[in-house]
């Protein structure tokens, strides 16, 4: 008998990684995206494989981050081999400027087995030429990926696995029988399935509100710029406050990011461009000689404390949700997808799912369509 079909609503990094995990487990999966899959926040991301200032986050974020930090190198190798596209996983390390929070950072490193060293920028001049002297924290094992390449590699791998990823496929509503999901309505057509996973990033909240879930997930805009510099100018990622620099393999340097409450407005602004450029050139003066070649923005799916919602609807069976990864969806992606697959397939979960439960969000008792749950 063929295995029942699983539908994924939303083809960002979370939806694509869920599809990948489930396809690896032998399940038939179809992904729908209202635009091009992987062109929203996931595409915009810097691709730093660690939360910024990781000691500030609650343990449930760190547990998922640890899974990502551990698994990305091997995952990127597989995706590269399957798709022919290199996601450019690079263990470039992260230099965090400033001595404040050193105690918290060192205690965090010791607790979670993540190397953190109190140091000075002077000791890292070979990695960051021209940087002013001062105290710093060095996280040598923090790696990066190039997010647009990661997404392309994931899509190529899914195609090789026989997973259909449909673009311009708007998921309009759920189908259900009794208290059980029966499929989706996509672009006006019914698609039957026994399981649905909602991975619609900041759009998840509005979709799920119709089915009695009110998750506190909303969009937070982030803007980035790319400076067309040359290989070798900067060799490590640098973090100061909420801004950072990421050196890519081709020598370009990405500077990010802003945190803005602008609803679903994804426009870029001159102000952010100037602010990010001034930050980059202030830290690494040699960057002033190179042009800004790109500017873009994405909408992060925020959540309280950055802890994603991963679980099954409390009353509508086989409706699963995986969203709210806020600033860390790339690094949290592999762990979140594995936990989701564990729950969908009834496997023993690799992490206790309780901290990610949907109940944290509160529930409406009446859906927008008037159906009571």
Ligand X SMILES: Cc1cc2nc3c(=O)[nH]c(=O)nc-3n(C[C@H](O)[C@H](O)[C@H](O)COP(=O)(O)OP(=O)(O)OC[C@H]3O[C@@H](n4cnc5c(N)ncnc54)[C@H](O)[C@@H]3O)c2cc1C
Binding interface with ligand X (CB under 6 A): 9-15, 32-35, 37, 40-42, 44-48, 170-171, 199-201, 203, 207, 222, 224, 256-257, 298, 300-301, 323, 325-331
Pairwise CA distance, residues 9 & 180, whole Å: 17
Q: List, in order, residues 6 or more apart from 239 with CB less than 8 Å away.
A: 52, 53, 94, 95, 96, 97
Q: Which CB sits closer to ligand X, 136 or 297?
A: 297
Our CB check for ligand X shows the closer of 136 and 224 to be 224
**What's the min distance (Å) between Cβ of 119 and ligand X?**
22
* Cβ nearer to ligand X, comparing 186 with 287: 186
b/e burial code for range 290-308 (CB count within 10 A of at least 16 → b): bebeebbbbbbbbbeebbb
DSSP 35: S
Cβ proximity of 332 and 65 under 8 Å: yes
Pairwise CA distance, residues 154 & 262, whole Å = 30
Residue with tokens 């936990």: 339
Quick one: tokens of 108? 């965090």
Q: Beta strand pairing status for 319-323 and 195-198?
A: parallel
- Closest CB to ligand X among residues 121, 323: 323
Q: In angstroms, what is the minimal distance from the CB of 1 to ligand X?
A: 29
Pick between residue 125 and residue 294 the one whose CB is nearest to ligand X: 294
**Interhelix angle for 59-83 vs 102-112, to 10°?**
60
What totals of helices (H) and strands (E) does the chain contain, helices first?
Answer: 8, 17
Shortest Å, Cβ 322 to ligand X: 7
Give min distance, CB of 58 to ligand X, in A. 16
The least distance separating ligand X from the CB of residue 346, rounded to whole angstroms, comes to 24
Smallest gap from Cβ 120 to ligand X, in A, equals 25
Instruction: Classify burial at 167, counting beta carbons within 10 Å of its beta carbon; exposed 0-12, middle 13-18, buried 19 or more.
Output: middle
Shortest distance, CB of residue 203 to ligand X, whole angstroms?
Answer: 3
Phi-psi region of 267 (alpha: psi -120 to 50; beta: other; left: phi over 0): beta
- Compute the least distance from the CB of residue 42 to ligand X, in Å: 3
Question: How many CA atoms does the CB half-sphere of 26 hold within 13 Å?
Answer: 3
Residue closer to ligand X by CB (options 136, 337) is 337
Quote the least distance from Cβ 153 to ligand X, whole Å. Answer: 15
CB-nearer residue toward ligand X: 280 or 331: 331
Paired sense of beta strands 180-186 and 189-192, if any = antiparallel
**CB-wise, 118 or 185, nearer to ligand X?**
185
* Residue 15 or 212 having the CB closest to ligand X: 15
CB-count burial class (<10 Å; 0-12, 13-18, 19+) for 359: exposed
Q: Measured from the CB atom, is 278 or 289 closer to ligand X?
A: 278
CB of 313 to ligand X, least distance (A): 16
| CA 370/CA 36 separation, integer angstroms | 32
């Amino acid at each position: 008998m063929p295995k029942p079909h699983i539908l994924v609503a939303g083809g960002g990094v979370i939806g694509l990684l869920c599809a990948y995990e489930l396809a690896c487990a032998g399940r038939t999966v179809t992904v729908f995206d209202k635009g091009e899959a992987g062109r929203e926040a996931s595409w915009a991301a810097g691709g730093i494989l660690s939360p910024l200032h990781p000691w500030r986050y609650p343990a449930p974020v760190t547990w998922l981050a640890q899974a990502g930090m551990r698994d990305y190198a091997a995952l990127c190798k597989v995706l590269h081999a399957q798709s022919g596209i290199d996601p450019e996983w690079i263990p470039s390390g992260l230099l965090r400027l400033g001595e404040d929070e050193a105690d918290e950072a060192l205690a965090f490193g010791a607790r979670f087995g993540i190397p953190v060293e109190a140091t000075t920028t002077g000791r890292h001049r070979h990695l960051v030429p021209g940087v002013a002297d001062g105290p710093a924290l060095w996280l040598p094992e923090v790696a990066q990926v190039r997010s647009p390449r990661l997404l392309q590699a994931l899509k190529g791998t899914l195609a090789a696995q026989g997973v259909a990823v449909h673009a311009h496929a708007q998921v309009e509503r759920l189908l259900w029988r009794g208290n059980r999901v029966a499929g989706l309505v996509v672009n006006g057509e019914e698609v039957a399935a026994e399981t649905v996973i909602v991975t619609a990033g900041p759009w998840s909240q509005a979709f799920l509100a119709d089915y009695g879930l009110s998750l506190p997930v909303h969009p937070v805009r982030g803007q980035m710029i790319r400076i067309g510099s040359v290989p070798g100018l900067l060799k490590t990622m640098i973090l100061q406050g909420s801004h950072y620099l990421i050196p890519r393999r081709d020598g370009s340097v990405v500077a990010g990011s802003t945190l803005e409450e602008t609803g679903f407005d994804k426009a870029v602004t001159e102000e952010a461009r100037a602010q990010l450029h001034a930050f980059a050139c202030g830290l690494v003066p040699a960057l002033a000689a190179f042009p800004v070649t790109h500017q873009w923005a994405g909408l992060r799916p925020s959540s309280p404390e950055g802890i994603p919602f991963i679980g099954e609807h409390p009353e509508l069976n086989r409706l699963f949700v995986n969203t709210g990864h806020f600033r860390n969806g790339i690094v949290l992606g592999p762990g979140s997808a594995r936990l989701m697959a564990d729950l969908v397939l009834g496997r023993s979960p690799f992490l206790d799912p309780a901290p990610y439960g949907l109940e944290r969000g509160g529930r409406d008792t009446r859906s927008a369509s008037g159906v009571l749950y």
